[in-house]
Copies of this chain bind each other. A is one copy, B any other.
């Protein structure tokens, strides 16, 4: 008998029919002899509707109140899922984040979990119930209601799975798993049966939208096996697991793409210690998430520093650069919102030196210019023109033998 945490996203509980389908699946899992803990998101676009209403009432509002507002969404879906379970003969009880013992810091709208005290969930399981827990929410050390930020429901599920020592944390969504590329971009993309945590983290960091980086990190740190699968087909999906050293690793597992970022280049800065530190401290103080950073030394004692930021942060990133521009002695400051990034991810890459060469050759064959390069041991990312991204993904997917038969 296993303990399974099943997390259902917004589309999986989007209407009465979907909620009943979820209940039937939980009933099947229980009938198979497993214990189940359910974690739910808010229904469909309910949270978006609440945000619109809040912004109509007060464009700027206290984060504490925003959290209080948004947590209503999971409260509704968890009660409805619990009712639906009752309707198919499964005894259950719903629990808010607070009742489930999810203790967070006081950083409203993006709280971090400090401690898990799921005593009531354990009691419910011991009593033979299926606990249905609100995703995305917790209670702070100040006894206020908090939310965990984007992807927060996945974090709830993973944290509960870790605290309860569950055998697997199933993430139900509207796609059938993790693919070797975004199927909308590369029609020949294949569903991956198995991905390592390291690979999944690189994929999440470079454009795969199925799982947020944060929940993958959390799962890896707490050794929680993830299984990403569809609540529409219920077929087995993709397992995210610890790397298994006895298995031969695929050299390249997936191609990811991302056109949500823009590039900033600070040009002609003196090539001396402290310059980069000053620049990125300023960006950090402006709470800007910097992603890729590339610096080339040049011959005449100056260098160009380029980095990418979310397009939504571009304006404030440029403002932050202006602040330090004179201090660091930069000659130029420019930005480019027309970029895209294509990345190869694969755990076997670290022992296969030919990967980089094949990637560059493939892009060159298509006449695609590489504007920035950054690598990790299991990933290579190239910045190219945004309008070349689709062609690049398809060409690489084919070149690395990932195309479905």
Contacts and interface: CB of A to CB of B under 8 A. Distances in A.
Interface of A: 16, 19-20, 50, 53-54, 56-62, 64-66, 68-69, 71-73, 75-76, 78-80, 82-84, 86-87, 93-94, 96, 99, 120, 143, 145
A80 B57 CA distance: 7
B16 A57 contact: yes
Nearest to A98: B98
Given A57-B16, A57-B20, A86 B72 contact: no
A68 B82 contact: yes
A195 B73 CA distance: 41
Contacts of A96: 68, 145
A94 B16 CA distance: 30
B69 A75 contact: yes
Given A65-B82, A66-B83, 20 more contacts: A16-B53, A16-B57, A20-B57, A50-B76, A53-B80, A54-B79, A57-B83, A57-B87, A58-B87, A60-B86, A61-B86, A61-B87, A65-B93, A68-B75, A68-B79, A68-B82, A69-B80, A69-B83, A96-B145, A99-B143
Given A58-B83, A83-B57, A143-B99, A72 B75 contact: yes
Q: How many copies are assembled? A: 2
Contacts of A73: 72
A27 B76 CA distance: 31
A208 to B, nearest CB: 32
A60 B88 CA distance: 11
A58 B82 CA distance: 10
B83 A16 contact: no
Q: Nearest 8 pairs between A and B by C-beta?
A: A69-B79, A58-B87, A61-B83, A68-B79, A58-B83, A72-B72, A72-B75, A65-B82
A59 B84 CA distance: 9
9 contacts: A61-B83, A61-B86, A62-B86, A64-B93, A65-B86, A65-B94, A69-B83, A72-B72, A72-B76
Contact of A57 (B19, B65, B99): B19
Contacts of A62: 82-83, 86, 93
Contacts of A145: 96
A84 B72 contact: no
A78 B75 CA distance: 15
A99 B144 CA distance: 8
